[in-house]
Amino acid sequence: MMEFPDIRTNLGSYASDLVDFLDRTLEGFFDFLFLITSKSINGIQDFLLWMPWWFFIIVVFLLGWYFRSVFSGVLYAAFIFLIGTFGLWEDMMTTIAIIVTAVLICLVIGIPLGIWMSYSKGFSTVMRPILDAMQTMPSFVYLIPAIFFFGLGNVSAIFATLIYALPPVIRLTELAIRGVDKEVIESAQSFGSSRWQMLRKVQLPQALPTIMAGVNQTTMMALAMVVIASMVGASGLGEQVLVAINRIDIALGFEAGISIVFLAIIIDRITNGAADKFQKHRRVGQ
């Protein structure tokens, strides 16, 4: 059997050197990100825990009712109540705080990037292989630089989740803006609309349903990182799954796992319902 030639490129060492360089050069910037992100997570978590449990369940019921149906609202409220009966109420709130923070950061970064890609073919050409790499790289790999820059904890979980969950909202925002009817754009141009006015009053409203689909995908991918992120010290339901694995505790593993499934169902149905609402309003407006 012929062996592969003894050739070593050391590409991995270059990546390690790059991370070391960024850590030394941008230490203050990463400290600032750590402070802002940790305060955001703690603020959202404290607010959710301050809220009475029955009020939170009512909010979930109303969201399910408005975006889906009365039956859906009752079902989602029952799911949340059941998670509380497992003794995982605080863990659920921590998980929601992490997901909300990660998704908000994804939207703040992703939607402008998607708009930029829709306007610039050159930038889109550069970004697409980067987004491909972000989506196809094993999610465990993201935990390594997260620990290096931010240490163990929820902030590292946000960093890893951000890389994994960001591409869908960028791609779908670009697709949505590019997919706006050319006749509508030409009509706006004929009335003397500037590029900013066209984006704000024509393209974004037309593209909103597709952008909402991107928000849904980003949220679900952020939720998918909950268990993986627990390996870098993230608390919440993922941590309970990890504890159950270490202890071989079937009961705890089932309860924490089914709680994540309940959250996934609720978030998916409500965000899809919001996208459907926007689509219906757009059709009525037309």
pLDDT score for 282:
57
Q: Is the pLDDT of residue 23 over 70?
A: yes
Range with the poorest average pLDDT among 90-104, 110-124, 184-198? 184-198
pLDDT score for 118:
86
Give me the domains of the chain, ranges plus CATH numbers.
13-50+86-285 (1.10.3720.10)
Alpha-carbon separation of residue 139 from 21, 185, 222, 231, 242 (angstroms) = 23, 39, 11, 12, 16
Cα 240 to Cα 83: distance, rounded to the nearest angstrom: 13
- Residue 278 banded pLDDT, cuts 50, 70, 90: low
